[in-house]
Amino acid sequence: MNSPFLKHLHSPDRPVIVFDGAMGTNIQSQNLTAADFGGPEYEGCNEYLVHTLPEAIAKVHRDFLAAGADVIETDTFGNTSIVLAEYDLADKAYYLNKTAAQLAKKVTAEFSTPEKPRFVAGSMGPGTKLPTLGHIDFDTLRTAYVEQAEGLYDGGADLLIIETCQDVLQIKAALNAVSEVFEKKGSRLPLMVSVTIENFGTMLVGSEIEAALTILQPYPIDIMGLNCATGPDLMADHIKYLCEHSPFVVSCIPNAGLPENIGGHAHYKLTPMELRMALHKFVEDWGVQVIGGCCGTRPDHIQQLAEIAATLKPKARHPQFEPAAASIYSTQAYDQDNSFLIVGERLNASGSKKCRNMLNAEDWDGLVSLAKSQVKEGAHVLDVNVDYVGRDGERDMHELAGRLVTNVTLPLMLDSTEWEKMEEGLKVAGGKCILNSTNYEDGEPRFFKVLELAKKYGAGVVVGTIDEDGMARTAEKKFAIAQRAYNQALEYGIPAHEIFFDTLALPVSTGIEEDRENGKATIEAIRRIREELPGCQILLGVSNVSFGLNPAARIVLNSMFLHEAMAAGLDGAIVSANKILPLAKIEPEHQEVCRKLIYDRRTFDGDICTYDPLAELTTMFAGKTAKRDRSVDENLPVEERLKQHIIDGERIGLEEQLAKALEKHPPWILSTSSCWTG
């Protein structure tokens, strides 16, 4: 990308870049009439002014450029066809975006000099409909953003800013749209993503800043930061977090304080000097490099920022980024100190009868409940598999993942043999998911198809050691497939830390001769991958190893197998979290017989087997049963039970408790603010 803006941003003296202030505030101060907007039916549609009264917008741009802004944002915040439809202007989306960008470019040309170049950022706002909450579907939103991005691109924008983001899934739709346009045009523009953290500390859909960063980290973004909702004070913690962890340049574009409602209008009271002092600190102490103003900020605010930018140098940053998955709410590091990444296996229609029955009955609440019970058991990630012959798997994935995403705080591992089902999940699950899985069974195109999804939706990916000849059985073959996939995935642009190799645990429990070495081969392959393929993750579906044994024996064998695999370098496992025992809880003789089974240490006298650990284990556990789970305390007062429901996020039975609580307590209501008028 040959971008003058990026050259400026990354020039050796690391200049502080100043964005402009509020569009809305500075349109309002011109006291425009309905006629200025093109008639009463368009009043309030600021984006239409580039057509009806371009001079009003040019004035806002000029005032900010004269105050010293390096970058002005186009008057296109609400310019997708979806928002414009509210004014019956949907068909003008492309035209209005292009016109707004051309106008901004024309005005910057009046001010731009070689010493102080000025740039135009094409503004793409969040729209009025949040995909995570089901207000709009992913593809419709992406298509609308394509049109907007193309207009901005064709109008000559120097960079694009996806801003005031309230929903992580909305950001992914916009990023996909933008990359579609770049592909079509054959070149890219610099990209900035600016999220909005509300005064309650998360994005509107509940995402913490850590989650937002994890979700965005895989994308080719240049600048990431915060804008809108609050003044700089309430942004401080989040900005500091980004400065310490984000690989992207950090931006901070606050409101002029929290809005105060005076006579039905929002008033912003932070003075230019107060804004200057706050942002001075963020730049000097933490390394923020891009600053500006959102709702309520005027040219005199921007003038103060331009003054500090002229002399300040952002503190050098050394961000520490940790590979992780995320739900829409929070992040989950892949690496678990002294433990393993626990992927809950029970939400699996092909692996669990209980799950299959609920899916067949379309008992979505029951399935969400099954997901939540795994959270309680200590799972870090939830495997979700709806593969079930005779049902519409894409629809099932859409329905189930769409409910899990808001109801469960864990990241999802989308498990299917069909990529179409994975993609259906990705279109509703705005967190950072893991795709389970890809392999070479159906050749390279299918292998790459899943990698393409991983790139597009910013996901990790499981690679099973299966190739055109089928499932690898020996350690050598498992390793060879992993190595092939490692090289191809890295070349394709998937970083090593996003690849989870699964060396496939096959049963050691059948007694069939050719299965005897399954455990050894799987563990040996893990050891080689750990030694020879740097940076990748290694994962196993552990329960396969014990298929057919008595449940009590399975728990012990699975746990021992997991323990051995971890000693060889395993990072994560798909398990039933409440059925894994720590080594200290397994009797030494059980440990011994399991090890002998895993590594096939039978003894022979000639052809006659004199000791078979499989027979030994079966005998040891004959007649033994696995322990049952405990459940909730029904004797607590209603307040306590309600509290428990909230802590557990358990919906089943909640309404009943709520109704009881409402007999004793009044309800209260949460409200929030946004950038539409600022």
Give, as one character, the DSSP assignment of residue 266.
E
Cα separation, 192 vs 176, in Å, equals 14
Rule CB under 6 A: is residue 437 a binding residue for ligand THG? Answer: yes
Residue 406, CA distances (Å) to 113, 207, 225, 651 in order: 49, 10, 24, 12
Rule CB under 6 A: is residue 272 a binding residue for ligand THG? Answer: no
The one segment of 168-176, 221-229, 235-243, 541-549 that binds ligand THG by CB under 6 A? 541-549
Rule CB under 6 A: is residue 63 a binding residue for ligand THG? Answer: no
Cα separation, 593 vs 611, in Å, equals 11
Q: Report helix angle 168-185 to 444-457, nearest 10.
A: 120
**Which of residues 328 and 574 has its CB atom nearest to ligand THG in the complex?**
574
β-pairing verdict for 537-541 and 572-575: parallel
Cα separation, 147 vs 282, in Å, equals 36
- The contact mask relative to ligand THG for 458-477 (x = CB under 6 A, - = no) is ----x-x-------------
Q: How far is the CB of 75 from ligand THG (least distance, A)?
A: 49
**Which of residues 223 and 574 has its CB atom nearest to ligand THG in the complex?**
574
**Which of residues 332 and 348 has its CB atom nearest to ligand THG in the complex?**
348
**Which of residues 198 and 415 has its CB atom nearest to ligand THG in the complex?**
415
Using CB under 6 A, pick the residue from 394, 467, 502, 616 that binds ligand THG.
Answer: 502
Within 10 Å of residue 451's Cβ, how many Cβ atoms?
Answer: 22
Cα separation, 397 vs 365, in Å, equals 14
**Which of residues 299 and 464 has its CB atom nearest to ligand THG in the complex?**
464
Q: How far is the CB of 120 from ligand THG (least distance, A)?
A: 47
Rule CB under 6 A: is residue 571 a binding residue for ligand THG? Answer: no
Angle at 418 between CA 416 and CA 421, to 5 degrees: 75
Rule CB under 6 A: is residue 345 a binding residue for ligand THG? Answer: yes
CB 581 within 8 A of CB 653: no
Q: How far is the CB of 436 from ligand THG (least distance, A)?
A: 5
The one segment of 246-254, 263-271, 304-312, 344-352 that binds ligand THG by CB under 6 A? 344-352
The one segment of 265-273, 469-477, 539-547, 641-649 that binds ligand THG by CB under 6 A? 539-547
Using CB under 6 A, pick the residue from 436, 465, 559, 674 that binds ligand THG.
Answer: 436
**Which of residues 155 and 519 has its CB atom nearest to ligand THG in the complex?**
519
β-pairing verdict for 260-262 and 265-267: antiparallel
Using CB under 6 A, pick the residue from 28, 140, 352, 644 that binds ligand THG.
Answer: 352
* Count of residues touching ligand THG (by CB under 6 A): 17
Using CB under 6 A, pick the residue from 132, 543, 559, 677 that binds ligand THG.
Answer: 543
Rule CB under 6 A: is residue 351 a binding residue for ligand THG? Answer: yes
Burial of 449 per CB tally in 10 Å (0-12, 13-18, 19+): middle
- What b/e string do you get for 586-596 counting C-beta neighbours within 10 Å, with b at 16 or more? beeebeebbbb
Residue 585, CA distances (Å) to 345, 441, 617 in order: 22, 39, 17
Using CB under 6 A, pick the residue from 147, 415, 564, 616 that binds ligand THG.
Answer: 415
Q: How far is the CB of 539 from ligand THG (least distance, A)?
A: 6
CA-nearest of 580, 499, 577, 493 to 539 is 499
Using CB under 6 A, pick the residue from 318, 353, 628, 630 that binds ligand THG.
Answer: 353
Residue 128, CA distances (Å) to 78, 136, 345, 450, 542 in order: 8, 9, 37, 31, 45
Q: How far is the CB of 606 from ligand THG (least distance, A)?
A: 37
Rule CB under 6 A: is residue 424 a binding residue for ligand THG? Answer: no
The one segment of 124-132, 345-353, 370-378, 587-595 that binds ligand THG by CB under 6 A? 345-353
Rule CB under 6 A: is residue 519 a binding residue for ligand THG? Answer: no
β-pairing verdict for 460-464 and 499-502: parallel
Q: Report helix angle 613-620 to 551-568, nearest 10.
A: 130
Q: How far is the CB of 248 from ligand THG (least distance, A)?
A: 31
Within 10 Å of residue 346's Cβ, how many Cβ atoms?
Answer: 22
- Three-class HEC string of 499-568: EEEECCCCCCCCCCHHHCCHHHHHHHHHHHHHHHCCCCEEEEEHHHHHCCCCHHHHHHHHHHHHHHHHHH
Rule CB under 6 A: is residue 628 a binding residue for ligand THG? Answer: no
**Which of residues 124 and 459 has its CB atom nearest to ligand THG in the complex?**
459
248 sits in the region (left: phi over 0; alpha: psi -120 to 50; else beta) called beta
Query: What residue ranges in 41-125 does DSSP mark as E strands?
Result: 71-73, 119-124
Rule CB under 6 A: is residue 574 a binding residue for ligand THG? Answer: yes
Closest residue to ligand THG, based on beta-carbon distance: 541
Contacts for 631 with CB less than 8 Å, ≥ 6 apart: none
Using CB under 6 A, pick the residue from 7, 265, 267, 354 that binds ligand THG.
Answer: 354
Rule CB under 6 A: is residue 541 a binding residue for ligand THG? Answer: yes
Contacting residues toward ligand THG, per CB under 6 A = 345, 348, 351-354, 415, 436-437, 462, 464, 502, 505, 541, 543-544, 574
